[in-house]
């Protein structure tokens, strides 16, 4: 079974082609360019380098959130378009779970972190034990300060991974000595990890029309703060 996986949910973009759990090829870029302009040429180049035609792909996997509003829509639209045209099924994978998969094979606790701006992050907690992944916290949108509490209470070293990992590591390392920063080679979402995270879920693959982005609502307090600042008078 050939799986084409794609991720455009955060700062970087990548796509990968797998035969079951063998990575046949992967493309990755983290260059601040618009994902809508880079991802399809990237898929084309991946297919031509692996010499596998798009028609040979059996299943599509894509990160469906949390993440960047525009990024999630780009990835989901691209996958929906290809899967619909070929009549294939799709699997939506949590961006945070895909990031946790980058530590597969290492017994540890992982905190995937995506920068949601304004001192907020999308995060979760996972534990790897052998090849068993256990979710300790659900995908959440929380202030960085709350993540700091989670990490302090973890009681063991926690690996930070994701486009918000460095930001959190630098802001907390003095107060939370147990945190570790992922290697630059692992820091951003790799589409191969998206495919690996999708594999146990193959039985639940859906029609492309059933794929929907899983946006997470940002913390309540912040939303209210903005609402209060809505200017008055001056009707437009």
Q: For residues 34 and 48, which CB has a smaller minimum distance to another protein in the complex?
A: 34
Q: How many helices (H) and strands (E) does the chain have?
A: 7, 10
Smallest gap, in angstroms, from Cβ of residue 204 to another protein? Answer: 28
Evaluated on CA atoms 128, 133, 137, 138, the torsion sign reads positive
Contact 12, 28 (CB under 8 A): yes
Smallest gap, in angstroms, from Cβ of residue 24 to another protein? Answer: 30
CA distances (Å), 224 to each of 117, 228, 230, in order?
A: 16, 6, 10
Residue with tokens 């959440």: 140
Binding residues vs another protein (CB under 8 A): 11, 32, 34, 68-71, 116-118, 215, 217-218, 222-227, 229-231, 234, 236
Q: For residues 156 and 234, which CB has a smaller minimum distance to another protein in the complex?
A: 234
Smallest gap, in angstroms, from Cβ of residue 23 to another protein? Answer: 28
Q: For residues 37 and 204, which CB has a smaller minimum distance to another protein in the complex?
A: 37
Q: For residues 37 and 49, which CB has a smaller minimum distance to another protein in the complex?
A: 37
- Show the tokens assigned to 64: 């469906």
CA distances (Å), 48 to each of 14, 82, 195, in order?
A: 15, 16, 19
Q: For residues 68 and 192, which CB has a smaller minimum distance to another protein in the complex?
A: 68
Burial class (CB in 10 A: 0-12, 13-18, 19+), 173: middle
Smallest gap, in angstroms, from Cβ of residue 14 to another protein? Answer: 16
Smallest gap, in angstroms, from Cβ of residue 151 to another protein? Answer: 24
């Amino acid at each position: 079974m050939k799986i084409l996986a794609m991720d455009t949910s955060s700062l970087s973009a990548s796509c990968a082609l797998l035969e079951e759990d063998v990575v046949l090829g992967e493309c990755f870029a983290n260059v601040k360019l618009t994902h809508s302009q880079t991802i399809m040429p990237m898929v084309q180049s991946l297919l031509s380098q692996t010499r596998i035609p798009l028609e040979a792909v059996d299943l599509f996997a894509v990160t469906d959130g949390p993440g960047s509003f525009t990024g999630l829509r780009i990835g989901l639209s691209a996958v929906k378009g290809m899967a619909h045209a070929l009549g294939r099924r799709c699997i939506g994978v949590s961006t945070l779970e895909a990031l946790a998969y980058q530590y597969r094979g290492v017994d540890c606790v992982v905190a995937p972190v995506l920068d949601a701006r304004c001192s907020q992050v999308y995060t979760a907690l996972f534990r790897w034990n052998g090849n068993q992944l256990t979710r300790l916290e659900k995908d959440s949108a929380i202030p960085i300060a709350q993540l700091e509490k989670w990490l302090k209470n973890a009681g063991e070293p926690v690996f930070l991974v994701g486009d918000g990992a460095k930001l959190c590591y630098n802001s907390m390392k003095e107060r939370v000595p147990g945190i570790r920063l992922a290697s630059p080679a692992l820091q951003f979402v790799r589409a191969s990890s998206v495919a690996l995270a999708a594999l146990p879920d193959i039985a639940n693959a859906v029609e492309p029309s059933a794929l929907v982005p899983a946006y997470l609502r940002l913390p309540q307090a912040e939303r209210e703060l903005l609402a209060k600042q809505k200017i008055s008078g001056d009707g437009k």
